[in-house]
Amino acid sequence: MDPQWADLLLSPIINTTISKLISTAAEQISLAVGWKKELASLKDKLILVQAVLKDAEEKQVSDPAVKLWLERLRDVVYEADDVLDEVAYESVKCKVETKNQKMKWVCNFFTSSNPLLFHRKISEKIKNIIASVDVINNEARGFGLQIRLATACRVVSEQGRNPQTHSTIGDLSEVVGREDDVSKIVHLLTDLSDVSRLCVLSIVGMPGLGKTTLAQAVRNDEQIKNYFGKIMWVCVSDDFDVKRILTEMLESLTGNSCAVKNKDTVIQKIRDAMGENNFLLVLDDMWDEESHRKFEDLRSCLLGICKNPRNRVIVTTRDEKVALKMGMHDEHMHHLGKLQDAHCWSIIRKTVFGDASIPSEFENIGWDIAQLCGGVPLVASVIGGTLSTRRLDRVEWLSFKSKIEALGSVEHDIEIRDFVMEREMLIQLWMAKGFLQSAEESPMTMEDIEWPPCFGNMKNLRYLDISRTRITKLPKFIPKLYQLQTFRFTTCRSLEMPPEGIGSLINLRHIYFSDEEQMPANIGKLMCLQTLPKFFVGTTKGCKIEELGSLRCLRGSLKICNLEHVKDKSEAMGAKLYEKTISELRLRWGKESNRDEDVLEGLQPHSDLQVLEIHGYGGKNLSSWMSKNVMNCDMFLLKNLVELRIVQCKNIIADGGFAKLASLKELRISDCPKLERVSSNGLSLPQSLLIPGCKELSSLSTSTCLKVLSLDECQNLRSIPSLRGLSSLEEIRLCSKLRSIPENTLNSLTNLKKLAIGGFSEELEEFPGLSSLQASLERLDLIGWGKLTEFPLEIQNPNLTALNWLSIDDFKEVETLPKWLGNLSSLKSLWIRGCLRLKYLPSGLSFFPTLERLIIVGCPNLVSANLEEILGGLARLKILWIGLFSEELEEFPSLSSIHNLGSSLEYLALSGWAKLTQLPHQIQHLTALRILVARI
């Protein structure tokens, strides 16, 4: 064994074994039987060994005899650990069998087959281990090993109490250091519209870097939410089954499970659910190199479902070959790199210290530890969680640093079964291996990092993951895995029936499954259960909502589906959600019923709830607990709620007192066709107000704290209230059928950075109510409509010095753009799309000193001489996309001056048409060109 591994692993292994001895002995005393004296003796002898262990670890490098002594000690400790596991297993087994058989006598830790033989066997093993430890202690004296009393005393003093802990692993790794990645992908998804073929973007990176997390961040980006009408997510893994993917797409759209078997029927249902919307589809964890062949089948299905040119697909994969075989070009392939050391230190620092100041000596050591993370955010999160449980002591931190240095390249140790572990999975694996200790009524504690030997007997299994396999039946021994703590069987499409007898797994803390058909019955018997991401309400015994009632330790995220099966408020209250410290709760109805309001009233959550989603609810009014006071005081029940989503609730007419939720930061009400008003009732609305697809919305209140306002497809909203005085507003999207906007609405918004506006009533012939814009504006998206024949001159403002993005879409009747556009001296990106009658661009565009990106597509009447003049003067242009000109042309126009871009242009995209048969010869002069995309 390498001495560095002994240095790293042996101390925490002995700590864990001593902890097991103490807990096992305590249980034995309570039963008044067993091996009380033997276990106490073994504990004392191991503590003596531990007293000299620190000195031995330091001497092993220079003394081979000490190194061999450590290896023998390791073997004995492992043997003791195995015996304790065997005793613990028999203890739990006896409890389960006693409970099942309704016996009244006390369990004696004996097997039912031969209790005397088992007792004799364990006694003999413990005696042999004690004898071996005696020999090791005697040898220690011969080596002259010194006792380090502080170490020994600390172990004993900390037993029997639960140390104060921080959150084990926070969410910082989801944010830190990935802002540019999110921005780049959002830009690629919303900027380069592929009108001829479905555009696919891949995220490629090694395990542990957070490809899935990045895709989730992109999916949740407000610009993405506003750009795409529908967003779907499917986990692919090694089973690229087109029918399954289509089925999960439909389930993602509707929120309901799909029993339809016919592929064409599923496609039609997706088409119906999609409507006129464009979509974003995320295919997560795609790693089968041969899946590209099946992807072409899926691509054909997607194009048949919806041919909107703004449809996009994201693929996450660890293998670049997968992306290349799918025909992706470099510009559509985002390689996810490692984090900088500074980002890793930021994650660790925030996890350990929060917002508190940091002593300088810890700052220096922390930087050194961060450099050992290998740029992997998951490793930084785990290390931060580990340090957060340790005493804030410089020597302690230096010791931890030396252990991590001995471990070497840590990123290789977080990949299990060749797939990337998520944060909770890593915690649960380490808990199974003995790294983490958990209190009976409190979250687990990360004690130390260690890698014990493989279990020789399945009965001691703590962690079982059969996800993404083709297993058809589960082995009969699973209900006998009494030590099991984590059980994962997600995406097991071939599994014929859910696990049976799972109620006997009384130590189970985390269970994961994908589908309703896989949910085990009698989950309510799992009294220690902490993680249950999904629960599907059924009508048979063991599957009703009352199963949740006994799960008092549940925390994290919980999604409850099929709430239409709950009969009334009384039955709903049986879930006892008010007792559970769940942070995110999603309530879903598959179909409406006249009991919905009564049922929702009985699903009152805990006051610590942070995120709430109500989906498919059929009632007209939301529950009283949404605005309920606590004990008749001024504090409301949901005082910690920060995000509220009301989705596809077809009968909701008015808001349910959202303004009373003081901590609410984001309110999203989508696809609620009868919603008529959202009011503040004199109180404050959240910072972000997002209302897409609410056709009957006619009344809207605002508040001074509003930062983001987005209104999409709200056909009945003819006007909006004045936004004057809302100095906090940073982003506005007004793309509904508005007829008017209050005068001077925009010129008072001094902090406005992003504005998307247009798509108003077809009756209007000009933009209503626009006035001068503030100098703070950085991005402006203008969307035209049928009768608009002129560009809005009101937007002209020479003070738009911060504007770097301008998008002009669907001005179908406009023939020329105003000259003052050439005065936008800070503009870096200009998009002109779908302007069918546009003939001339402002000549001043050719003198843009900062323009780096120019996209002109779908403008078939553009005069080629005008475009050529402009292209010749853009000396700093890096990205150019032009095309979809008149179908009568047989070659690309306006490229004679493109050679002037030879030293700057890096990306060129050309979108052709039917008569185009060859690429323009002028591109040979583009010496700086790195990417050429030609669709002809």
Cα–Cα distance for residue pair 185/217, rounded to 1 Å: 10
* Alpha helices in 143-290, H assignment, sequence order: 149-158, 179-191, 211-219, 222-227, 242-254, 263-274
**Would you report the helix, strand and coil content of the chain in percent, each value rounded to 5?**
40, 15, 45
Around Cβ 468, how many Cβ atoms within 10 Å? Answer: 21
Cα–Cα distance for residue pair 701/685, rounded to 1 Å: 8
Cβ-proximal residues to 114 (8 Å cutoff; 6+ apart), any chain: none
Q: What is the mean pLDDT of residues 590-597?
A: 88
pLDDT at 458: 66
Return the higher-pLDDT residue of 659 and 275.
Answer: 275
Helix (H, G, I), strand (E, B) or coil at 263: helix
Q: How many CA atoms lie within 13 A of 857 on its CB side?
A: 22
pLDDT at 576: 94
Residues found in the chain: 936
Task: Note whether 910 and 920 are within 8 A (CB).
Answer: yes
Per-residue pLDDT tens digits for 790-813: 777 767 766 788 889 999 998 888
pTM for this prediction: 0.56
pLDDT at 384: 77
Cα–Cα distance for residue pair 380/175, rounded to 1 Å: 13
Q: Is 427 exposed, middle or buried (0-12, 13-18, 19+ CB in 10 A)?
A: buried
The most confident of the ranges 431-440, 799-808, 818-827 is: 799-808
> Which pLDDT band holds residue 613 (cuts at 50, 70, 90)?
very high
Which of these ranges, 380-394, 534-548, 567-581, 690-704, has the smallest mean pLDDT?
Answer: 380-394
pLDDT exceeds cutoff 50 at 878: yes
**What radius of gyration, in Å, describes the C-alpha atoms of the chain?**
32
Q: What is the mean pLDDT of residues 459-470?
A: 79
Supply the mean pLDDT for the chain: 76
Per-residue pLDDT tens digits for 513-538: 988 888 999 999 888 898 999 999 99
By C-alpha distance, which of 817, 821, 819, 861 is closest to 839? Answer: 861
pLDDT at 108: 44
Residue 708 token pair: 């983001």
Residue 556 token pair: 């994290």
Residue 386 token pair: 């580990």
Cα–Cα distance for residue pair 647/612, rounded to 1 Å: 11
Edge to edge, the sheet with strand 199-204 lists 230-237, 279-286, 312-317, 199-204, 333-335
Dihedral pair phi/psi, residue 666, rounded to 5°: -135, 130
Q: Is 701 exposed, middle or buried (0-12, 13-18, 19+ CB in 10 A)?
A: middle
Task: Note whether 616 and 255 are within 8 A (CB).
Answer: yes
Cα–Cα distance for residue pair 862/473, rounded to 1 Å: 64
Q: What is the mean pLDDT of residues 861-881?
A: 77
pLDDT at 624: 85
Q: Which residues pair with 708 in a beta bridge?
A: 688, 731
The most confident of the ranges 82-86, 399-403, 543-547 is: 543-547
> Which pLDDT band holds residue 563 (cuts at 50, 70, 90)?
very high
By C-alpha distance, which of 846, 843, 835, 856 is closest to 877? Answer: 846
Cα–Cα distance for residue pair 576/549, rounded to 1 Å: 5
Per-residue pLDDT tens digits for 388-408: 656 677 777 887 777 666 444
pLDDT at 285: 79
pLDDT at 769: 58
Task: Note whether 703 and 727 are within 8 A (CB).
Answer: no
Which of these ranges, 63-67, 137-141, 407-411, 830-834, has the smallest mean pLDDT?
Answer: 407-411
pLDDT exceeds cutoff 90 at 362: no
The most confident of the ranges 6-20, 36-50, 106-120, 139-153 is: 36-50
Per-residue pLDDT tens digits for 162-211: 332 222 223 434 567 888 889 989 988 887 555 556 788 889 887 667 78
User: CA 502 → CA 428, 478, 479, 513, 576, distances in Å?
Assistant: 19, 8, 5, 13, 22
Give kind and range of the element (H or E) at residue 362. Answer: helix 360-370
